[in-house]
Structure 1
Amino acid sequence: MTHTATNYPSTDTPSGWLRRAEYWLDDKGKGAWIAAMVLGFIFVWPVGLFLLFYMIWGKKMFSNKCTSRSSRHSYRRSAAMAMKSSGNTAFDAYKADTLRRLEEEQNSFESFLDRLRAAKDKAEFDQFMEDRAKSSPADDEKAETEEKEEA
Structure 2
Amino acid sequence: MYDTTNQSPPTGLLYWPRRVESWLDARGKGAWIAAMVLGFIFVWPLGLAILGYMIWSKRMTKRSMCCHRPKGQGYWASNSSGNSAFDAYRDETIRRLKEERGAFEAFLKRLRDAKDKQEFDAFMEDRAKANADQTNDKDIAAY
Return the alpha-carbon distance in structure 2 between the equivalents of residues 112 and 105 of structure 1.
10
Report deviation, 1:116: 0.6
How many residue pairs get matched? 116
One-letter amino acid of the structure 1 residue matched with residue 113 of structure 2: M
Which residue of 2 is the match for residue 145 of structure 1?
129
Is this contact kept in 2: 1:29–1:66, CA < 8 A? Answer: yes
Secondary structure in 1 matching 2:12: coil
Secondary structure in 1 matching 2:116: helix
Return the alpha-carbon distance in structure 2 between the equivalents of residues 30 and 43 of structure 1.
20
Structure 1 residues 113 and 120, CA gap change in structure 2 (3 angstroms): same
Residue 50 in 1 paired to residue 46 in 2? no
One-letter amino acid of the structure 2 residue matched with residue 116 of structure 1: E
One-letter amino acid of the structure 2 residue matched with residue 53 of structure 1: G
Residue 104 in 1 paired to residue 103 in 2? no
Which residue of 2 is the match for residue 35 of structure 1?
34
TM-score, with structure 2 as normaliser: 0.57
Which residue of 2 is the match for residue 61 of structure 1?
60
Is this contact kept in 2: 1:27–1:66, CA < 8 A? Answer: no
One-letter amino acid of the structure 1 residue matched with residue 26 of structure 2: D
Residue 125 in 1 paired to residue 124 in 2? no
Percent same amino acid among aligned pairs? 35
TM-score, with structure 1 as normaliser: 0.55
Which residue of 1 is the match for residue 6 of structure 2?
none
Return the alpha-carbon distance in structure 2 between the equivalents of residues 107 and 15 of structure 1.
50
- In structure 2, runs of 5+ residues without a counterpart are 1-8, 67-78, 136-143
Normalized per residue, the structure richer in helix is 1
Which residue of 1 is the match for residue 5 of structure 2?
none
Return the alpha-carbon distance in structure 2 between the equivalents of residues 118 and 64 of structure 1.
28
One-letter amino acid of the structure 1 residue matched with residue 116 of structure 2: R
Larger gyration radius, structure 1 or structure 2:
2
Return the alpha-carbon distance in structure 2 between the equivalents of residues 13 and 122 of structure 1.
64
Return the alpha-carbon distance in structure 2 between the equivalents of residues 148 and 140 of structure 1.
12
Return the alpha-carbon distance in structure 1 between the equivalents of residues 41 and 133 of structure 2.
70
Return the alpha-carbon distance in structure 1 between the equivalents of residues 51 and 100 of structure 2.
44
* Highest RCO, 1 vs 2 (Cα 8 Å, sep ≥ 6): 1
